[in-house]
Structure 1
Amino acid sequence: MTNISYVSLSQTALLERNLNTTAHNLANASTSGYKAINPLVESVEYGSGENTISYVQDRGSYLDLASGPLTPTGNPFDIALSGDGWLSFGMENGETGYSRHGRLVVDADGQLKTSAGLPVLDAGGGPVLLPDDIGDQVVITQGGTITDQSGAVLGSIGILKIQNAAGLLPLGRGMYQLPEGAEAPVVAEDVKVNQGFVEGSNVEAVLEMTRLISIQRAYENSIKLMTQDYELTKTAIQKLGRI
């Protein structure tokens, strides 16, 4: 393989990953609290002077932390956050997951959970337990405190701030986890809880579709370039063999 093929190969490998990422974003365009994933790439140079060659290198990905649209639901247990905050949830493996997914329900035991059955945690990391006969007569304040109609406090939802939240690792269904070695979240300030709303995905479907088409075309061009380079090399070897 020549340098042309190596450069094209580095590009096609990255484009294939970007294609998968873009398709994943599109598939979650209607997932509550989902944050679009963006690839992080870097040009790496080898050699010096006129012999310098630039390759494309995959440096991972990061989350687009822009807020999604808020949609009213009429469910008093649904919440959406305005500001730099995250909800925490108890995962099935015993670890803690983080999300902006605020479509919540109360189970038969009075535990506040997501529609997928993951328990919501308070600021101390414990489950949020409400009276099993509470019905829908609850008020959730802008600070996340849950009260009944008379103002009696029933519980509190933990609203956390995560340092370098763009580096969170996706788990699916709009849920994320901290990367290894990350700082522990702290209680968030200046974050408003909106009762009766859910935050939608921040994926812009039209933009992702345009990106998908561009990636496909770039991938085809890279494959074409490698094929042409291979044919030129093959022709050169055949001609040299006749000498």
Structure 2
Amino acid sequence: MTDRALYIAMTGASAMLRGQATVAQNLANVDTTGFQATLDATVAVPVTGPGLPSRVATVAQTLGVDARPGALRNTGNPLDIALKPEHWLAVQDAGGGVAYTRAGDLTLNANGLLMTARGLPVLGADGAPVSIPAYQALEIGQDGTISIVPQGQPASTMATAARLQIVTAKPSELVRGDDGLMRPRPGTQPTPSTGAALVSGALESSNVDVAGALVSMIALSRQFDMQVQLLRREDENARATSAIVR
């Protein structure tokens, strides 16, 4: 029984550490635009392999992201957008592939390319990075259409410059990568958005519940300490038993 208790306590302590890492990551992104908190849990998983199925491990498991929208903050910046729930902006990741984000704090680089605040190219409806010519006025419509008044032209010459690639997908259909970007789960494919998909001149704040995350961190720390105490106690019992047997 001692080895069984040691194994359960060891896997439990390991799961608590991973849970603390998830909460710490959420807290680190409290001020990150459009960030959705990672949901984590512990589950009991039977240990497979040769022998009788007599061991069960405690495993930390990521359940996805919190689908609740963050608070909207009006900025008045025409390049800022806040996406509606279950809507995602397509960007080009570091490897040249397509990924999705809810961070709508966009900027223009010196070459006129539309970028995220992290420096990733924003993709248009045609799948290519969005390039915007020199303008004196710009607005982004609710459907992601970017309209501009070209430099030196009257307001009546406003024309469409590009359209953002926005898709709809439930958070459960996407998985967050190590780079913080979302990608479709195997067997799923986001649907191109139609109709109103965003609010312009505003940003979505992180949806991390700071108070709840701090309470969770304290609870996980206490549970970890409990598992460590159990490990020490079982080790002491094993040593005492060995001494008696001798």
Q: TM-score range by the shorter chain?
A: 0.7 to 0.9
Map of 2:160 onto structure 1: 153
Q: Return the match for 1:114 from 98, 113, 116.
A: 116
2:177 is the alignment partner of 1:175? no
SS of the residue 1:86 aligns to: strand
Residue 112 of structure 1, CA deviation: 1.1
Alpha-carbon distance in 2 for matches of 1:37, 1:61:
8
TM-score (norm. length: structure 1): 0.87
Query: Given the superposition, is the C-alpha separation of residues 140 and 52 from structure 1 closer, same or farther in structure 2, using an over 3 Å criterion?
Result: same
Query: Given the superposition, is the C-alpha separation of residues 204 and 191 from structure 1 closer, same or farther in structure 2, using an over 3 Å criterion?
Result: farther
Amino acid in the other structure paired with 1:177: R
Map of 1:123 onto structure 2: 125
Residue 166 of structure 1, CA deviation: 5.4
Q: Return the match for 1:72 from 71, 74, 80.
A: 74
2:19 is the alignment partner of 1:14? no
Q: Return the match for 2:231 from 226, 229, 238.
A: 226
Equivalent residues in 2 for 1:178-189, closer than 5 Å: 178-179=184-185, 181-189=186-194
Alpha-carbon distance in 1 for matches of 2:172, 2:125:
18
SS of the residue 1:214 aligns to: helix
Amino acid in the other structure paired with 1:146: I
SS of the residue 2:15 aligns to: helix
Contact 1:143 1:193 in 2 (8 A): yes
Cα displacement string for residues 107-146 of structure 1 (whole angstroms, at most 9, x for unaligned residues): 2222111122211111231111211x214x1121111111
Alpha-carbon distance in 1 for matches of 2:172, 2:81:
20
Contact 2:141 2:200 in 1 (8 A): yes
Map of 1:199 onto structure 2: 204
SS of the residue 1:228 aligns to: helix
Map of 2:218 onto structure 1: 213
Cα displacement string for residues 60-105 of structure 1 (whole angstroms, at most 9, x for unaligned residues): 4411121111111221111011121100111222112210000011
Unpaired runs of at least 5, structure 1: none
SS of the residue 1:206 aligns to: helix
Residue 170 of structure 1, CA deviation: 3.1
Alpha-carbon distance in 2 for matches of 1:197, 1:182:
33
Q: Report the identity percentage.
A: 27
Contact 2:46 2:56 in 1 (8 A): yes
Q: CA RMSD in A?
A: 2.2
TM-score (norm. length: structure 2): 0.86
Alpha-carbon distance in 2 for matches of 1:130, 1:223:
58
Query: Given the superposition, is the C-alpha separation of residues 191 and 170 from structure 1 closer, same or farther in structure 2, using an over 3 Å criterion?
Result: farther
